[in-house]
Amino acid sequence: MKTMSNIQKDVQQAIDQLVDSGAERGIQVAAYKRGELVVDAVAGIADPLTGRPVQADTPFYNFSIVKGAAATLAHMLVERGMFGYDTPLVELWPEFGAHGKQKVTVRQVLNHSAGVPAIPMTTTPEDLCDWDKMCASIADSEPWWEAGTKVGYHAYTFGYLVGEIVRRATGKPISQVLLEEVAGPLGVGDELYFGMPKSEQGRLATLEDAESEAGPMAEMPPDLPMFKAGPMSLMPTATLGNRADILGADIPAGGKTSARAIARMYAALLGEVDGIRLISADRLREATALSMSGTDAIFGMPTKWALGYAIGGLGTPNDSDTVFGVGGAGGSFACADTASGVTFAVTKNRLTSDFKAASQLSQLVTDALAKS
C-alpha cells in the first residue's frame, strides 16, 4: 500500500520531469481524498521574465475550469430556494425572453442545451470586460436551436448566463458571491477568482502558447460551428489570457485559480472540508446526474453533461460516470469522483491543445490513491 507521502513524491517526480523535458513551464497538481489534502505539488516557473517560481498558492488563468465554480454557486442558490432548476430565465431576467427565448430554464443553461452558444462576431476583448454590454447582447440574441433539443458547448455565454442569474437573484456580482460563499469560507479567497483585482495580478502565472502550436484551438477543423460562435481573436491564447483587463473582469466562463483551491472546492461539494460543505448530498446527486448527452452541436464530439459539470474523466481507463468536472483550454483540468471521494486538479501556464499531461497525472493519482 502506498503512503500519502509516497504519492506526493511520485507526483512531484512526474511534474519535475515534465518541466525538465520542456513539455511544461510551470505546473501545479492537487488532490483531496474524503476532505483531506493528499497531493499538493508544484514545479517550474510562473514567470519566465523574472524567474519567479510556481508556489502552491500561485493562481493560474485556467480558462474554463472555473466554470465549475460558477455552476457550484448556482446549485447553492437553488438549495436556498432563490430559484429552481426549472425556473425560466425571464422570471429573473425579463429581457432575456427576446426572440422566443421565454422558456429557457436554469437547467438548460447549466447543461449547455439553452441554444444560445454564440457571442457577436464583432465582439472585442474590451467588450468581454463590459458586463452589461455582453448580457444585453446575449439577451437579444436569436437562439441556434430550441432549448433542450440539442446539447452544445456554450463557451463564453455560459459564464454570462450563470453570472447574470446569480446577479439578478442576489443583487451582487458573481465575483463577490464567489468570495463570500465559496472562496472565503474555504480559505482560498486569494487563490480562486473570476475577476481578479489588478493589485493581485502580479501573483499570477504568466501564460505562454506551446511553441509548436498556434494555441489550444490549433488542431480543430476550420468548419466547426464553434468558429461561428465568436471571433477567432477571442479564442483562448496566452496573449488574451495575459491582458490585465481580461484578468480583472468578470468573465465567468473562465477564471483564475490554483490547483489546490479548485480541488478544495470540489472536495467541499463531495463532503465536509474543515467543517464546510457547500451543498447537501441530495443536491450533489441531482447536480452531478446525467442531464444532457449526444453529439455536441458546437464541437462535434460525443458529450455528456450534468448540471454545469461534464461527466467523465480525461480519457483514462478510470473514466466513469461518477466523475464530474470541467477542463480548460490549454490543458488544465479539475474534477471530482463521487464514488472514490477523490478530487483532482492540474493547472499550468503552457497552453497545449490536449490534456495529455493532465490525463497522465490524473491516472497516476487515481491509481495511487486506490492502493492507499
SS (H, E, C) 139-158: HCCCCCCCCCCCCCCCCCHH
Give the pLDDT confidence score for residue 211 in this predicted structure: 76
Question: Cβ contacts of residue 335 below 8 Å, gap of 6+?
Answer: 266, 309, 313, 314, 323, 324, 325, 326, 343, 344, 345, 362
Give the pLDDT confidence score for residue 230 in this predicted structure: 86
> Containing H/E element for 365?
helix 356-371
Give the pLDDT confidence score for residue 232 in this predicted structure: 84
Give the pLDDT confidence score for residue 88 in this predicted structure: 98
Q: Which grid cell sits at 290?
A: 446525467
Q: Identify the bridge partners of residue 52 per DSSP, sorted by sequence position.
A: 47
Give the pLDDT confidence score for residue 318 in this predicted structure: 54
Q: Which grid cell sits at 238?
A: 496566452
Give the pLDDT confidence score for residue 370 in this predicted structure: 84
**Domain range 4-371, CATH class:** alpha beta
Q: What gap in Å lies between CA 49 and CA 26, rounded to an integer?
A: 13
Q: What gap in Å lies between CA 268 and CA 76, rounded to an integer?
A: 12
Q: What gap in Å lies between CA 87 and CA 97, rounded to an integer?
A: 13
Give the pLDDT confidence score for residue 216 in this predicted structure: 46
Question: Active-site residues: which are they?
Answer: 64
- Kindly give the pairing relationship between strand 52-53 and strand 36-47: antiparallel
**AA letter at 338:** T
Whole-prediction pTM: 0.95
Burial of residue 317, with CB atoms counted within 10 A of its CB: 0-12 exposed, 13-18 middle, 19 or more buried = exposed
Give the pLDDT confidence score for residue 173 in this predicted structure: 98
Ordered mean pLDDT values, 10 residues apiece, the chain (372 residues): 81 98 97 96 97 98 97 98 98 98 98 97 97 98 98 97 98 98 98 97 96 55 73 91 97 97 98 98 98 94 95 69 94 95 97 93 91 78
Q: How far apart are the first and last CA of the chain?
A: 5
Q: What gap in Å lies between CA 311 and CA 293, rounded to an integer?
A: 9
Q: What gap in Å lies between CA 362 and CA 348, rounded to an integer?
A: 14
- Kindly give the pairing relationship between strand 208-209 and strand 350-351: parallel
Helix axes 157-170, 67-79, angle to 10 degrees: 30
Give the pLDDT confidence score for residue 229 in this predicted structure: 83
